[in-house]
Structure formats: structure tokens, C-alpha cells
Structure 1
């Protein structure tokens, strides 16, 4: 980290940083999106809507019906992890203490959904692709193979924020294109959707009068920035613009294959979709995604493979202002 106090003669004495962090997320297999939309949603609601979404890819996971063996209350079966170089096998054991008679496996091709039943009673009904992410399951293959590759990042806001990501995805041309490409080019993969909501956290940094070029007379500008910050308990940015620059920053950071805009030109003063940041003269934006509570990571070729992704962007490239990006690096 570079020390901002090593330099004097800054243009301004106070700079602001805007931070957007992912506070809620939910992963859904693409094939389950329609049924998910019909359920009562306890993760997202009017007070915590999901406006930013990720389209992801990872290997298919299926159950091998020929591997199923039942003895008393215990069963054994295998999951198959499909990938370009072949497949991996995960051996599983389970015990159903309430079972009183023979346990049977119920599944049909393509074996991506199964139930273990006892006569009319269902003991488990699940997708292998979801169950394999349980902390209670240990596998005998490289766990990195089951991480999620970021293919596309998008947003849905609409008038007054009423349109959510779920509604947007039903008629999403890029999602349909990804499905088609996956079927023809990556049949061993599943498409997943990650719905997210981001929250705002802000910070001011004041460096003191000894580091300011007083000839520039920046007192009024600094005073206005500080008053705005404390009067509004942070930076007052419209919800629509927050979604716009969060999406743009995420695209710049991950550079997903199917995104075209913002890969090379964020931030840009010409983009009116986040003009409020320039109007307030906010110096920098920080974004953060923490999925460490989940057993798998997010990755892209540019961003790498990890469970905590963060990035800093300076809105202005002025050499005579404090650089949060330099401090961050």
C-alpha cells in the first residue's frame, strides 16, 4: 500500500470512496429458474430486490443409477462429474434412520434429479448438482473443477425498480444464446444463475491542510463534499445509477465472455448512466463479492479463481489527487 502522506501539494484535502458489496446471493440451476420464480421467495423481497445477476457455467453432476446399493437403513451410490477430459466419480454413503423397509432409487435420464424412497415415503428428493455442494460431502477429485465460471453479468431495474432479475431472465436473448452454445459446444456443462443484491458503504479521507496546494483554493469544494456526506449519512446516489455502475464495474473486473460493454471503458465520464458519481466528485469505487460461506468459488480468466473478489476503480485519473487505487494496490 502506498502512503498518501508521502506526497504534498494535492488538489483537494478530502476525497470520497464509494463501496458496493454483495450482501445477498442465491445460486439457481438454470433448469430450475421457472419453478423458482413460482415459489415464495424468502431471500429477495421488495426491501431487498435482486437487480444484478450472473450467468455461470460448471460441469454437470448426475447420479449413476447402476451404482445404487441398499442394505437396511444404509445406501451407497455414485455421482458422476462430467467434464471435457472425461468424468470424475464421487462415492457417497447415506443412512436413513427412519427407514423400516427396503430403500429404492427413483431416477430417469438424464439422471440429474433423483429420489430415495421407501414404498410411498420419500426420504430425499434432490439434484446431484446441488447436493454435491453440501459441506457434509467429501469428494475424491479436484474440487476446483466444480467452481463457477462467470459467462455474463447483467442487470434488471425498469421503471421505479419494479423489474427484477428473475423477470428479466425469462426473455433474455443472451441467456438463450448461452443455453444454445452450451448444448452444442459444452454438453458436459450446466448453466447456473446467481441472483444478487448489493449494499452501499462509503468513506471519506481527509489528508490535512499541510498536504493541500492552497493556491488551488479547494476549501469550498471540500466543505460541500463533507456536508453532503454527513447530511445524507453517506453519498446520496439514485438506486438506478448504483445498479448501473455496479454492473459496469463487475463487467470490467471479470470481463465475462458474453459481455460486450464496459470491458474496456469503465469508468468513463461520458457514460451518463453513472453521472451522479462525477457530479458529486467521488474519487473512487470499490466493489466486493465474498462467497466464502459457499463451498465453491467464482472465476473468470481475468479475475482468477477465488471466493473473495474485490477491485478498486478511480473515477478520475488526475495525478494531483489522492489515488485510492494506488493505496489499494
Structure 2
């Protein structure tokens, strides 16, 4: 192992898509999602947020919506106000049983918009710069969809996924006042190399370091291994061992699906995940609710790292 440089790979989140299972039958949506390399997904649990249309008011200036949850038989009302925008006026709002989908109409009953009340709640509260814990998403399972050459995306996997069905039915059985959401996303890798500055005084050592850097830059970690590295990192970080049974020993050398990290002499791998774009904080039994999640995993033991970074002391 080269002791004069540290090679890092950081995976940063992009293209977050939050949907429920019924959205995967929408051909137009699936066609749009296929344009994005969304190979990682999180199965999450969230409070079922409903809309009480009878106690909601609409006039030409404002819209006042009565959202509510009903956890363990205890109703919690959350009143959200927003502007009824000129030029896009909403005159009528429909929200029929089970009160988790809405349809909005403009003048002369013209169609305005429709969607899930949960997503509408997240959007409007974020617009008002107000956050409620009911928008939190609890991460239950981490998975991937890649295929032989990356031709599969998470939508393909979730259509026929036994584990997703198990998580779904477990949640409906144990937590009927909550619902399952699927967060599909991709990450963009960043490679970094940190040199021991003393190596520049030793020409032979400096050349060895430069050769190692060139090796990494010209032999990138295959994309499928990047996906596996990310999946393993997220499983370890969120502690989803109730449903995830693989990669629980990450970053151990024993798993061949990410051994390229060790072959190329990487020292650490990390990820950064931001969920501000979906107006929700992620959490798990292991991790507190937050918009931002970051972790870095060292691929070598503490003795090796101390030896490698001894020049910094």
C-alpha cells in the first residue's frame, strides 16, 4: 500500500424522485424517468397526511387547507395557507375518500392540477418556510437496480420486488396510519487524491505517487461497483438490517462486488445526501432526522491509516 497519498471517492446525490407505487404504472412518467440514471432507491415510511376538504376554504386571494394525520386514533390538524395566484386561480378543490389525492380546478371547471395530498403538504409548508415532523421519511430499506449494462432503473426493480412488497405489507399491518414512499436517486462520484508533501523532496517517491494517481484516473471504478458501494454505504449508515441482509459488513474486503476499491488502493469512500429538493428530512432508528446526511468510511484499519498519515503529525 502506498503510504504517501490518500485516494478518496465521494458520491453526491442528484435526481431525487419521491413517488408511491401507483405512480410506476404511469407510462409518461416512467418514460421521463428513464432519461435519468436512477439506480438507487430507499423504501421509506411516512405519516399518512390527509386533506379535510370540508374544513378548507378557497377565495380569490387565499387558499386555506386543513391537512391532518390520524395516528393511533388521535387526529392532528395542520392548517396551511397560501396565495391563490392571479392568472392561475383555483376555484374548486376535490379530495374524495380516502382523502389522500386531490384535484384542483380553475374557472369554468378547467383542470388545474392533481396529486398526492402528502406531496402538496410538503410543498406548501416548505413554501411557507415551516417544517413539520409529519414530513419526515423513515428509511426502512436500501436497494439498487442496475442490470447488466445499467439498462435497468429503480422503477423496473420496484415493479417486481418481493422485498418492497414485504416492507409495504408489514407497514400496512403494523402501522395503518402511515404509508410507504419510494425515493429513487442517483449519485455523482468525485475522486480526490491527497499527497504527502514530503514526497516531493524524493523524486523517486514522487514518481511512484504520480503513477498511482494516473492509475486511478485511467482505471475508474466501474459504474456498477459505484452503485454497490453507495448501496452498502447507505445500508451501514441508516442501519436498515431489519430488511437489508447484504453488505452489513461494509467496508470489509470480503465482498467481491466492491473489491475494485482495494485493488486501486482507495483509502476511504464517502457519500453526501441532501433531501431539500423533496421537502423532507430522512431518519432511521439509528440516524436522527435531517435534510443532510454525510458519512465517510475508511477502507483500511487504524494502524495502516496512522502509518499512512504519519507525515501529517
Equivalent in the alignment of 1:26:
17
SS in 2 for 1:304: coil
Equivalent in the alignment of 1:4:
none
Note the 1:282-321 alignment, pairs <5 A.
Answer: 282-317=266-301, 319-321=303-305
Question: Distance in 1 between the 2:170 and 2:30 partners?
Answer: 31
- Taking a change above 3 Å as real, the CA distance of residues 76 and 289 of structure 1, as seen in their structure-2 partners, is closer
Shift of 1:107: 2.7
Bigger helix share:
2
Name which of 42, 65, 82 aligns with 1:54.
42
Question: Distance in 2 between the 1:221 and 1:49 partners?
Answer: 36
Equivalent in the alignment of 2:192:
203
User: Is the contact between residue 12 and residue 222 of structure 1 (CA under 8 Å) also seen in structure 2?
Assistant: no
Question: Distance in 1 between the 2:23 and 2:143 partners?
Answer: 19
- Taking a change above 3 Å as real, the CA distance of residues 219 and 320 of structure 1, as seen in their structure-2 partners, is farther
Shift of 1:42: 4.3
SS in 2 for 1:306: coil
Instruction: Report the TM-score, using the length of structure 2 for normalisation.
Output: 0.85
**CA offsets, 1:136-182, max 9 Å, x none?**
3466xx71232110010000111111111110100000111111112
User: Is the contact between residue 56 and residue 194 of structure 1 (CA under 8 Å) also seen in structure 2?
Assistant: yes
1:107 aligns with 2:91: no
SS in 1 for 2:259: helix
Equivalent in the alignment of 1:275:
259
Equivalent in the alignment of 2:104:
116
- Taking a change above 3 Å as real, the CA distance of residues 210 and 163 of structure 1, as seen in their structure-2 partners, is closer
Equivalent in the alignment of 2:133:
144
**CA offsets, 1:85-143, max 9 Å, x none?**
7232122445364699x94442321011122335532344232111111133466xx71
Note the 1:1-329 alignment, pairs <5 A.
Answer: 12-35=3-26, 37-39=27-29, 41-42=31-32, 45=35, 48-70=36-58, 76-84=64-72, 86-93=74-81, 95=84, 97=86, 103-117=91-105, 119-134=108-123, 135-137=126-128, 143-209=132-198, 222-230=209-217, 232=218, 236-256=220-240, 257-263=242-248, 265-317=249-301, 319-321=303-305
SS in 1 for 2:220: coil
Equivalent in the alignment of 1:5:
none
SS in 1 for 2:119: helix
**CA offsets, 1:222-280, max 9 Å, x none?**
343122145x3xx61111111111111110111124212223x1111111001111111
Question: Distance in 1 between the 2:95 and 2:308 partners?
Answer: 54
**CA offsets, 1:9-68, max 9 Å, x none?**
x96111211111112211113332322x542654651xx411111111100111113214
Superposed CA RMSD in Å reads 3.2
Question: Aligned pair count?
Answer: 304
Question: Distance in 2 between the 1:11 and 1:75 partners?
Answer: 63
User: Is the contact between residue 299 and residue 306 of structure 1 (CA under 8 Å) also seen in structure 2?
Assistant: yes
Instruction: Report the TM-score, using the length of structure 1 for normalisation.
Output: 0.81
